[in-house]
Amino acid sequence: MTFTEVERVEGEKGNFSVTLKTRPRYIIEDRCTGCTTCVKYCPVQYPDRFNQEISMNKAVHVYFSQAIPLVAYIDDSCLFLKEGKCDICRGVCKMDAIDFKQTPKKVDINVGAIILSAGITPFDPSVKEEYRYREYENVVTSMDYERLLSSTGPYEGKVLRKTDKKHPKKIAWIQCVGSRRVTPGDNSYCSGVCCTYTQKQVILTKDHDTEAECTIFHNDIRSFGKDFERYFQRASAYPGVEFIRSYAAVTKEIPGSKNVVVRYATPDEGVKEKEFDMVVLSVGLNPPAAYKEISEKFGIDLNSHGFAKTDSSNPIKTNRPGIFVSGAFQGPTDIPESVFTACGAGSQTGELLDYRRGKLSTQRVYPDERDVSQEEPRIGVFVCHCGANISSVVNVPSTVEYALTLPNVVYAKQQIFSCATNSAKEITDLAREKGLNRVVIAACSPRTLEPLFRDTLREAGLNQYYLDMANIREHCSWVHSKQKEEATQKAQDIVRMSVARASRLEPLQEFDLPVNKTALVVGGGIAGMTCALSIARQGHEVHIVEKAKDLGGMARRLHTTLEGLDVQTYLDKLIQKIYQNPLIHVSHEATIKNVEGYLGNFTTTIETEGRIKEIKHGASVLAIGAEEYKPTEYLYGQNENVFTHMELGQEIAKGNETVLNAETLVMIQCVGCRNEDRNYCSRVCCGHAVKNALKLKKHNPDMRIYILFRDMRTYGFREDAYREASENDVKFIRYEPEDKPLVEAVKEGKKTVLRVTVPDYILGKRLELDADVLSLAAAVIPSESTKEIAGLFKVTLSPDGYFKEAHVKLKPVEFATDGVFLCGTAHYPKHVPETINQAYGAAGRVLTLLSRDTVTASGSVAKVTEYDCVSCGACITACTYQAIEFVDTPKGKKAWVNPILCKGDGLCNAKCPTNAIVLKHFTNDALLGQIDAASSAEEIMAEMDAVLEEV
Amino acid sequence: MCSGRVDIEFILRAFAGGQDGVFIGGCKLDECNYVTHGNYDALSNTYLTKKILKHLGINPDRLRIEFMSGADGQLLAEKTDEFTHQIKSLGPLGSSEGLKKEEVTFNLEAARKLVPFMRLVERERLRVPVKSKKAYKDFFESEETNALFDKIFSEKLAVSRIIRLLKTAPLSTGAIAEKLGLKPSDVSRHMISSSRHGMVRYDTAGKCYTLVQA
């Protein structure tokens, strides 16, 4: 339901009554096919909101090219809506989809749970005078710039200045706009995403124009995400890219050129000014514009920043039971975290409503499939007008006539919209009536509508793989609008090729494989336990495999979080819940010996407390955690007063007098990472440092605390703690990796002190700090067993040795290997609340698998003709999914494809020297037939005539 | 189906069918839709096929690969236009190369027979360990790779062409050499090894080579 807002929420978890209000779109959604003919004829030009109002759109338009649903809407700039004039669109719409009589509609729905994914609003920099946004035209926001870079953007992917439509050569980015400041109108927190999105914009800018000069004015570089450190290095390695650590303000616009001058300062050169063609303001993330209303309507609490108030033991839960929050409304987050909090909200909803899962769905029943394998191909061709999208360019009737002349075509017909419900019905009826056994739809890209037409074939009692789509819209009419005759010719060529392929198509069966409903969770830390509990609460048995004697993992060594969670109490309660849940079985002191099987049907053999156990399960979750680096630097292990941050936290909790009564305490950040050995940021250490510093200051306000850092990465709301530490006189001193602090133990009178020497770039001199206690931000490193576990479960590792997810952004809790999932620090270092978020996310993904009785394998998978297989193994090495293996046959070892694992990319097919392995539905026979049909008989004849004439 | 499924055979077949140019579109490198990065296989197949085309006297520019995402419509249009103009300026297949149509087809069909062999060679000798555009370019455009390819491929192609020619009629060494523009000594060397492999036999009466019927 788009265009819809929640008006009222009543009731309680499991039984909410929600009133929704839908604004009129003035388009009947069921009828609109998204053909955009109305847009072409609409006379009203209106600033395009999707493109940040940089370019114009029409009063009737589709919001953006990938919009769901892909249908038009009419906004209030419409002449008819304003003055009752003009209704051209109504005249040109062949589907009669335009309805100016629509009025707002109210509807009451009954739901069991509510998920708030209200997102964020970009910060509006026009509230701050120093940036001159909306005053100088060549000052844009990062959101504006994002649209400029996009191929669907205002200038179709060209980065142009508004003032002269020229490519800017010198571009500046100003970071932290709206973030990390307490001045009125700004946000005190760090928005967390801007450093990396700016680097992305710089890289894309250099891709667009290698000559572009990019300057980035920044505070700390906060590359705390997975692979972000490398990304930063990549962006800064481009020639012509300069990162300058300085606050910056826009001071003036040059008359004439409209260039923009930026003022900034560096420790070496003082205050300077520089002229740029364009300035991009890297704006931060504000809470959703209507956050106050959301809070009131849903009855949920907000934090002081306007985001949903949550508890760090479960950041997905709000204070009102049955209402959950996912995505950036939890606080500034990037895409992977938004995805896993979304999956996690799904899992928690599942915990609440599992007892009624599947009760509202009905099964679709198709007629029995007709066996046509013994029949000659009888092809029906349906040529779509797509309103005027195709027919205004391609001569549809002549294409229909042409199709009838092609071999095996027994029927051809034109349709206004083949995708309309009545047209699909027509195809089904005609297929029956004319005895068609294959269907070619000459319309649009198979990408969107192939599933629909496959369904149409099933309704007609035909195998769904007997369909081929000839794309005469995107590949023809849309790109050749000015060459109508040639376009018609091309459409006919495409139809001919499609018919050639269709006549060679074979019926394929998709088969269902039963799913074992049990899950296996490897690792009994916070991640593993949270995930296991959420799965078990949805009615599934879970086996937790823990290598240690006790559950708890790394969290056993943590005492509080920065947000104030008492970790040990929380952990004890969690462990209690695990042991109390009858569906959860824990194996202690366990090692995994062997893993066999695949998605839905794994068998894992473990050794636990001296005996061997075999577990059958449908899904696997790898939550094996990470470890702490044992520093070899800064006298660690040589001097008893040198700790890691984690140890320091433990000593504080224990009440270690030396620590608590220290006069001076120094912390050194980035020990063992962000270097050549470990080229990543451990993400949690800056937060830990600030947390420990605040605790010590609370205990002893006079303690002198120095934190030596490279970039303070207290992203999100952690920035408030960083500020608090600073206000409490914790001293932050920045150092460069080329000039690291030096530590030596020195006798000072009676006692030995740890003398730390570090350059101070602000004061321009070297400082000597005599510390009683030194604490090191030791890196988080992958667990020792990561490699072994990866081998057993056939999953891959990232360059830094952590588990590699299937897709960094879109599939952050699953592996490319189907049925195997991941969460927690085994994926990448993360704070406790983030781990909990991800653990629920993994549970959500596991449930989408385990809640099904079967998994369906596509029919279009590879298959081996054993007779032709020479056992060379070329296909096996070509397959990343490990779907192919050798099996023993009476004729020796032969390759065999597991159709469940095969994804149908067909790489093996192109590598087999004997063509023994074939990708079904894309066979050589079908594709070569299609290629051969690219040249028509007439063309070949004409060419031969031409040759003869020459002779 | 991935762009890596685009077989060398498909490309040769398209040219043999009379296409003047072949354009392969793949997803952006390093942004694979699957997890396989099969577009690198497409890139490698393209490099190999270009080498084959060169051997056949066909301008390798008639084959092109471009990588783009679903949102790059503008780029696709641009690249397609560019390629169309390029092929138009080259003219029909064979014309810019000074080859007759039937010669082109003959050679392409001979090369197509070698596709299974090419797949083996690719696997054993011509696989690039590092998946990057630069590594592929450096490898496939290196002197070393070119020399290796020439050595492996030219002999095989000559034999394939001769066998194809002998399908029409038994011929003497001299006649084969003349018809295919090869050195008589090379032809005789190929014929001796092909006799050993049992593919051809010398007909002493007719003083010519003839195909052994399978």
Whether chain A has a CB inside 8 Å of the CB on B7: the answer is yes
- Alpha-carbon A551 to chain mean position: 31
- CB–CB of B10 and A927 under 8 A? yes
Residue with tokens 């300058």: A244
Whether chain B has a CB inside 8 Å of the CB on A905: the answer is yes
Q: What angle do CA A308, A312, A314 make, to 5 degrees?
A: 80
Output the CA torsion A876→A879→A881→A885 (10° steps): -10
Mean pLDDT calculated for residue range A364-391: 92
Residue with tokens 């002269």: A164
Residue A655 structure tokens: 């009440």
User: Which of these ranges, A243-247, A360-364, A733-737, A915-919, has the smallest mean pLDDT?
Assistant: A360-364
Instruction: Select from A616, A619, A623, A545 the least CA-distant residue to A585.
Output: A545
Please report, for chain B, the start and end positions of each structural domain, with discontinuous segments joined by +. 3-158, 169-214
ipTM of the assembly?
Answer: 0.90
- CB–CB of B73 and A151 under 8 A? yes
Beta bridge partners of A611: A608
Residue A791 structure tokens: 């081998």
Which one of A56-60, A268-272, A879-883, B100-104 scores highest in mean pLDDT? Answer: A56-60
Give A125-156 pLDDT, tens digit per residue: 999 999 999 999 999 999 999 999 987 889 98
Closest approach of B208 to chain A, Cα-based (Å):
30
**pLDDT value of position A901:** 87
Residue A947: band (very low, low, confident or very high) from pLDDT cuts 50, 70, 90: low
Give A197-236 pLDDT, tens digit per residue: 999 999 999 988 999 999 999 999 999 999 999 999 999 9
Q: Nearest Cβ partner of A913 from B2, B74, B119?
A: B119
Judged against a pLDDT cut of 70, whether residue A948 lies above it is answered with no
**Rounded Cα distance, A215 and A208, in Å:** 16
Contact assessment for residue A822 and residue A813, using Cβ atoms and an 8 Å cutoff: yes
Give A523-545 pLDDT, tens digit per residue: 999 999 999 999 999 999 999 99
For B:43-82, CB contacts with A below 8 A are 45, 70-75, 77
**Rounded Cα distance, A228 and A195, in Å:** 10
Per 3-state DSSP, chain A is made up of helix, strand and coil in percentages (nearest 5) of: 30, 30, 45
User: Which of these ranges, A43-52, A288-297, A830-839, B126-135, has the smallest mean pLDDT?
Assistant: B126-135
Whether chain A has a CB inside 8 Å of the CB on B91: the answer is no
- CB–CB of A806 and B35 under 8 A? yes
Whether chain B has a CB inside 8 Å of the CB on A889: the answer is no
**pLDDT value of position A762:** 78
**Rounded Cα distance, A914 and A916, in Å:** 5
**pLDDT value of position B102:** 86
**pLDDT value of position A466:** 97
Residue A159: band (very low, low, confident or very high) from pLDDT cuts 50, 70, 90: very high
Contact assessment for residue A328 and residue A189, using Cβ atoms and an 8 Å cutoff: no
**pLDDT value of position A518:** 98
**pLDDT value of position A619:** 98
Judged against a pLDDT cut of 60, whether residue B94 lies above it is answered with yes
**pLDDT value of position A661:** 95
Whether chain B has a CB inside 8 Å of the CB on A924: the answer is yes
Judged against a pLDDT cut of 90, whether residue A393 lies above it is answered with yes
Mutation target to probe the B interface, by most B beta carbons within 10 A, among A64, A65, A915, A931 is: A931
Mean pLDDT calculated for residue range A477-485: 90
**pLDDT value of position A139:** 98
Instruction: Select from A419, A414, A491, A415 the least CA-distant residue to A449.
Output: A419
Contact assessment for residue A678 and residue A777, using Cβ atoms and an 8 Å cutoff: no
Question: In what helix (H) or strand (E) does residue A717 lie, and over which residues does it extend?
Answer: none
pTM for this model (two decimals): 0.84
Give the class (CATH, top level) of B169-214: mainly alpha
- Structure-model confidence comparison of residues A392 and A847, the more confident one: A847
CB-facing half-sphere around the CA of A449: CA atoms within 13 A: 27
Q: Nearest Cβ partner of A931 from B13, B38, B70?
A: B13
In chain B, the residue whose alpha carbon lies closest to the alpha carbon of A911 is B119
Give B6-45 pLDDT, tens digit per residue: 999 999 999 998 899 999 999 889 877 667 889 999 999 9
Q: Per residue, what are the HEC states of A294-309? A: HHHHHCCCECCCCCEC
Strands (E) across A623-736 are located at: 626-628, 642-644, 664-671, 704-709, 731-734
**pLDDT value of position A83:** 92
Judged against a pLDDT cut of 70, whether residue A569 lies above it is answered with yes
Mean pLDDT calculated for residue range A796-816: 90
Contact assessment for residue B16 and residue B105, using Cβ atoms and an 8 Å cutoff: yes
Burial call A904-926: b when 16+ CB within 10 Å, e when fewer: bbbbbbbbbbebbbbbbbbbbeb
**pLDDT value of position A939:** 67
Give B123-182 pLDDT, tens digit per residue: 888 888 888 999 999 999 999 999 988 888 888 898 899 988 998 888 998 999 988 888
Chain A CB contacts of B41 below 8 Å: 878, 907, 910-911
Judged against a pLDDT cut of 90, whether residue A857 lies above it is answered with no
Helix axes B8-16, B39-55, angle to 10 degrees: 40
**Rounded Cα distance, A169 and A206, in Å:** 10
The string of DSSP codes covering A8-28 is EEEEETTEEEEEEEE---SB-
Give A621-630 pLDDT, tens digit per residue: 999 999 999 9
End-to-end CA distance of chain A: 69
For B:96-115, CB contacts with A below 8 A are 101
Residue A858: band (very low, low, confident or very high) from pLDDT cuts 50, 70, 90: confident
- Looking at every residue in chain A, the average pLDDT score rounds to 94
Is residue A69 reached through a cis peptide bond, with omega within 30 degrees of 0 on the bond before it?
yes
In chain A, the residue whose alpha carbon lies closest to the alpha carbon of B124 is A874
Phi/psi of residue B84, nearest 5 degrees: -60, -45
Mean pLDDT calculated for residue range A938-949: 61
Strands (E) across A121-259 are located at: 121-122, 139-141, 170-177, 213-218, 241-245, 248-253
**pLDDT value of position B125:** 84
Count interface pairs A-B at CB distance under 8 A.
Answer: 97
Residue B85: band (very low, low, confident or very high) from pLDDT cuts 50, 70, 90: very high
Residues 6 or more apart from B168 whose CB is under 8 A from it? none
Environment class of A748 (CB within 10 Å of its CB; exposed 0-12, middle 13-18, buried 19+): exposed
